[in-house]
Amino acid sequence: MILDLIASGLVFSSIIVLGSIGLSLIYSIADFANFAHGDTMTVGAYSALVTFGAVGGLGGSLLGLPYGFFVALAVGIAAAAVVAVITEKVVYAGLDIGSIGLLITSIGIAFIYRAVIQLRFGAGFTRYDIQVLRPIDALVPYGVRVTLHDVAIVGSAVVLVTGLHVLLQYTDLGRKMRAMADNPELARVSGIRTDRVKLWTWVIGAGLAGAGGVFLGLFSRLVPRMGFNLLLIIFAAVILGGIGSVYGAMLGGFLIGMINQLTPALSELGSLLPLVPDAWGIPIGIEYADALAFVIMVLVLLVRPNGIAGEAT
């Protein structure tokens, strides 16, 4: 059981990490908590759904997924980025109302995104037209019931996160993004074209959110509230890791995702830990996983008020 929960935690963490990085990136540059971020994930998921309906028959497959799904993934990423950039240019950039005002505005933007999706697709759930796979046979004897689709989610997330790390550490754009996140005024007087850096930050942050949304739809199902339902968990991950820190968001996303999926194991702690009676455990189910994640976040913040990675980017 515990190995299966750990495997599920890795898959769920991959989705949370992608959402957390995007939210932290946008916060570090735009300087406000974007409550439309969860619904940006939904935009990516539904854009991929439409695209997959058109190109799903593309021949061949990889890790149990048709090639058309990866085309749909790319379109989902691009659509989320385009919608976020248009929102930034049309709405946020023209407002001079401070961080709190932008935060409240982003809540309204989230409602608009969701309403548009609901008008087109309805309030019910749907799924990608992809065959459901059986668990990988070689792992079943160990109690691990993951599918090739789960492997694809984790592998794709690792590729995207590694690509972001390379961009931040080894490219001119990444250095400018880090400089602007550390001190926007100093970056501006140093000659950095901050408007262009800010634009790319929206593209990358929203694009990663779009990827997270596509994988969330593959992991469970698509519903107009899917991104909003996950938003508070993503905020918990970003705050736990250290708001404004990209690498902290990665760590926070991983921890929150694992805690979420490992919650059922608490009821069987006695059988998992040495020197503890077998009957001992904390009777708590998966329905309390989100609350537990927030409890742990608060406990960590009591010790480290700036989160695990502080303000470092």
In this predicted model, what pLDDT tens digit does every residue of 24-55 receive, in sequence order?
988 888 788 899 999 999 999 999 999 999 88
- Pairwise CA distance, residues 300 & 239, whole Å: 10
Q: Are 127 and 221 in contact (CB under 8 A)?
A: yes
pTM: 0.89
Q: Both tokens of residue 185?
A: 């005024």
Backbone angles phi, psi at 57, to 5 degrees: -85, 5
Strand partners of residue 126: 222
- Which amino acid is it at 122? G
Confidence at residue 190, expressed as pLDDT on a 0 to 100 scale = 81
Provide the Cα torsion 105, 111, 113, 115; round to 10°: -150
Condensed to tens digits (0 to 9), the pLDDT of residues 253-307 reads 999 999 888 888 777 777 777 767 777 777 777 788 888 878 887 888 888 888 8
- 14 versus 179: the higher-pLDDT residue is 14
Over residues 81-98, the mean pLDDT reads 91
Residues in the chain: 313
Condensed to tens digits (0 to 9), the pLDDT of residues 184-221 reads 778 888 888 888 888 999 999 999 999 999 999 999 89
Q: What angle do CA 85, 52, 129 make, to 5 degrees?
A: 130
Q: Both tokens of residue 6?
A: 């750990």
- Pairwise CA distance, residues 238 & 21, whole Å: 8
Over residues 68-97, the mean pLDDT reads 93
- Pairwise CA distance, residues 250 & 18, whole Å: 8
pLDDT at position 23 over 70: yes
- Pairwise CA distance, residues 13 & 24, whole Å: 16
